[in-house]
Structure 1
Amino acid sequence: MASPRHWGAPAVAVVLVVAAALTANAGVDAHSSCINPLEYTWSNACRRGGVNGNIKWCSGPCPRDPVRKNYHIQTYRRGQWFPFDYYRNNHSGGFMRLSLVPMKHRFSHKAHDRNAFLWTCWDVGLRDCPRRTPHDCGTDRKGKRYRQWVRMPNVFPDGDYMLGYAWYGGGWRQGDYWSCARIRIRGGKLDKWHQPAFKTSGSRGGRCYSSS
């Protein structure tokens, strides 16, 4: 990834392996959104495409629902490692993408595409929910959610940004999901370039499983 003054992103090849066992999750709630940092709006199911679902459709890359009242903007330093938590809701499979864009470009697909800095398998970092409440755990029947540790890129100047979360290939015929959290960057070394990465767990051989 180039700096905000030199946008650009390399092509990333993603291999999805069809795992038949993962299609057996009939009757699950096919949606996900970010928990920590928290989704900026009251949406928990911004979906594009898919069929036979009861989740509303939205065009992404960020929901356009009303903003949460008294929303707490979390602050991070450039280069800081931070936990990124998101709902499991009885699902496995697919991969996710994280992007970071200035607030004024939060509804621009092109901006999120240019500023994507991490791709990774979606079902990585399974952990117990701190509390089995809708806020902390969604509707997961096993009381689980996901957490991945993410390093904040060094190329973004101080300011407020939208952290974009996209989940692809995870819900059976359920389309793609989007979620966004407003964050603030303050301090840390400022570099001109950042190399986007695609990461999987060590046992996956560079592949992510698909439930589709």
Structure 2
Amino acid sequence: MATLLQTLTLAVFLLLAIGAPIRSAEAHARLLSPPARDPNGYCGAFDTGLCPPCGNKDKSQANPAAATYQRGEAIDVVWPRNNHPGGFIRLSVVPFSSAQTFDDFAAGTVQFSCHESGCKSGFADPNAGDAPGTPVDGNHCATKFTIPSYLPDGQYTLQWLWFGGASFFGDLNRGQTDYYGCHDFTVRGGAAVDVNAKPACPAMLGGDATSPDTSRCKFFGTGSPLQCRPDGCQGSYKDGKPQPLLQCLASKGANQPTTAAPKPTVTVGPTTKVPVPAPTAPAPNPTTKVPAPPASTKAPAPAPTSTSKAAPSPVPTKEPTPAPAPAPTSAPAPAPAPVSGTNVQLFTDALHGHAAPAVSYVASSSRPFQVYVNGKLNGDFPDAWSAIGRSCDVQHNQCADAVNRGQSPAGATVGQCDEQNNKCHAKIAEGVAAAEALTKKN
């Protein structure tokens, strides 16, 4: 016991000694409720490629029969803030039988909401992390989603996509790449089908922890999906509507009504009910029913019923297929001259040909801990903890992307990449100790 206490005390001392922040665990927003097809959730627009639109589980592992809703029924959609400020949540619906591409989901957009809807903003600084002691997934944000009356009976997939967020490994002035997940469900009964009820443009349910203004949200960067690539993009905080909605309104000459997201009472998992704070001036909605998660996420998807029909024509505004990560507007800084002993990434195990990149310490820089990938600066950080974490995640992203593209050895799985990432993060404290030794030398 004494040895354990001494070790913990030393770790805290080292964190303070090199200026590493003591904060809640860094994590990303993900779809908590209704149940996601891929419950692990951390799947997004990585630097080297795009995670599939519904995560690492395709339709063969989906079960749309596990959740049934009626037209006009309102459901609670819940995700955690997890230390990340700003951004938009896009909710889209496509037929389960569709190809479910990024273009399909962009065309099937039903509504936009604010990322920080119904949850607490940062502790002390609105853009900062959650309050000390907040567990991962503990600060719940939420919005209401009403099953559109223009959807005929049948099977569908709801995509949840978060974009325009910030806080790149604790750096509040850099953007966070997009993350997304899907929920599969069946529509049966309810309001009469009205194919003419589809609006010209998606709805906007604004209002967040920064402002109750129902017409806008706080966001970082361009306000467009799949644009913050590479992860940690440059930009600034703004308030407004998402770019796809602005483009739709401009092209259609539509007046877009906006409403505040109402107060949901959320069922996350089979039994735990979590009250979510309401934004200012909530609007009433029908009673909510949230289905329990399916018994097995690997159950094969049933064939669409004979009454299933294709959804009406998609939302006119269409986003182009995501292009590869854009090149930086200025040439990347040259790699620092290698100096023996400057790599503070101590996890050296490779998996399927992918290793965590080195973390260099450059004493002359105001952001001395730098991660380089293929000779290019991938990220620079004021503290070792954030830089080493980024290095671990680069390995994970490259590993998972290769598996998804079929470029890994036979039998390789994303789960193996996840396990490797956990091992890498477990070595961060040792790297922090090495960084502390370097700072003393310089």
TM-score, normalised relative to structure 1: 0.69
Structure 1 partner of 2:30? 33
Structure 1 partner of 2:40? 43
Structure 1 partner of 2:336? none
1:158 positional shift:
1.2
RMSD: 3.1
Structure 2 partner of 1:62? 54
CA distance in 2 between counterparts of 1:70 and 1:186 reads 15
State which of 136, 144, 168 in structure 2 corresponds to 1:149: 144
After superposition, the Cα gap between the structure-2 partners of 1:106 and 1:179, relative to the gap in structure 1 and judged at 3 Å, is farther
Structure 2 partner of 1:165? 160
1:32 positional shift:
1.8
**Larger relative contact order (C-alpha < 8 A, sep ≥ 6)?**
1
Structure 2 partner of 1:199? 205
Q: Which is helix-richer, 1 or 2?
A: 2
Q: Which is strand-richer, 1 or 2?
A: 1
Q: Which amino acid aligns with 1:31?
A: H
State which of 202, 209, 212 in structure 1 corresponds to 2:218: 209
CA distance in 1 between counterparts of 2:99 and 2:23 reads 34
Tell whether the 8 Å contact from 1:117 to 1:197 is kept in structure 2 after alignment. Answer: yes
Give a deviation string over 1:39-86, Cα, whole Å, max 9, x none: 102431111046xxxxx9643421133777989722111111111111
Tell whether the 8 Å contact from 1:87 to 1:138 is kept in structure 2 after alignment. Answer: no
Q: Which amino acid aligns with 1:148?
A: T
After superposition, the Cα gap between the structure-2 partners of 1:82 and 1:106, relative to the gap in structure 1 and judged at 3 Å, is farther
Tell whether the 8 Å contact from 2:38 to 2:54 is kept in structure 1 after alignment. Answer: no
Tell whether the 8 Å contact from 1:97 to 1:167 is kept in structure 2 after alignment. Answer: yes
Structure 1 partner of 2:404? none
**Secondary structure of the residue that 1:104 maps to in structure 2?**
coil
CA distance in 2 between counterparts of 1:174 and 1:25 reads 20
Tell whether the 8 Å contact from 1:30 to 1:174 is kept in structure 2 after alignment. Answer: no
After superposition, the Cα gap between the structure-2 partners of 1:205 and 1:101, relative to the gap in structure 1 and judged at 3 Å, is closer
1:115 positional shift:
0.9
**Identity score, percent:** 28
Give a deviation string over 1:9-41, Cα, whole Å, max 9, x none: xxxxxxxxxxxxxxx997752422212111102
**Secondary structure of the residue that 1:92 maps to in structure 2?**
coil
**Secondary structure of the residue that 1:185 maps to in structure 2?**
strand
Give a deviation string over 1:104-148, Cα, whole Å, max 9, x none: 325311211111000111110228xxxxxxxxx9714xx321121
CA distance in 2 between counterparts of 1:77 and 1:159 reads 11
Tell whether the 8 Å contact from 1:40 to 1:71 is kept in structure 2 after alignment. Answer: no
Tell whether the 8 Å contact from 2:37 to 2:62 is kept in structure 1 after alignment. Answer: no
Gaps of 5+ in 1: 1-23, 51-55, 128-136
Q: Which amino acid aligns with 1:180?
A: C
After superposition, the Cα gap between the structure-2 partners of 1:95 and 1:115, relative to the gap in structure 1 and judged at 3 Å, is same
Structure-to-structure mapping, 1:1-212, within 5 angstroms: 29-49=26-46, 58-65=50-57, 73-105=66-98, 107-126=100-119, 139-140=136-137, 143-172=138-167, 173-188=175-190, 189-192=192-195, 193-195=197-199, 196-201=202-207, 203-204=212-213, 206-211=215-220
After superposition, the Cα gap between the structure-2 partners of 1:138 and 1:87, relative to the gap in structure 1 and judged at 3 Å, is farther
Q: Which amino acid aligns with 1:33?
A: R
Q: Which amino acid aligns with 1:114?
A: A
Tell whether the 8 Å contact from 1:60 to 1:178 is kept in structure 2 after alignment. Answer: no
Tell whether the 8 Å contact from 1:60 to 1:107 is kept in structure 2 after alignment. Answer: no
CA distance in 1 between counterparts of 2:166 and 2:99 reads 24
CA distance in 1 between counterparts of 2:69 and 2:80 reads 22
* Larger-gyration structure (1/2): 2
After superposition, the Cα gap between the structure-2 partners of 1:94 and 1:69, relative to the gap in structure 1 and judged at 3 Å, is closer
- Give the total of aligned pairs: 173
Tell whether the 8 Å contact from 2:64 to 2:156 is kept in structure 1 after alignment. Answer: no
**Secondary structure of the residue that 2:93 maps to in structure 1?**
strand
Structure 2 partner of 1:19? none
Gaps of 5+ in 2: 1-20, 121-133, 168-174, 222-442
Give a deviation string over 1:149-205, Cα, whole Å, max 9, x none: 221111111112111000001133321111101111111221113122112127236
CA distance in 2 between counterparts of 1:205 and 1:184 reads 30
CA distance in 2 between counterparts of 1:107 and 1:69 reads 13
Q: Which amino acid aligns with 1:154?
A: S
CA distance in 2 between counterparts of 1:177 and 1:70 reads 22
CA distance in 2 between counterparts of 1:78 and 1:57 reads 36
**Secondary structure of the residue that 2:71 maps to in structure 1?**
coil
After superposition, the Cα gap between the structure-2 partners of 1:68 and 1:105, relative to the gap in structure 1 and judged at 3 Å, is closer
* Range 193-202 or range 171-180, more displaced: 193-202
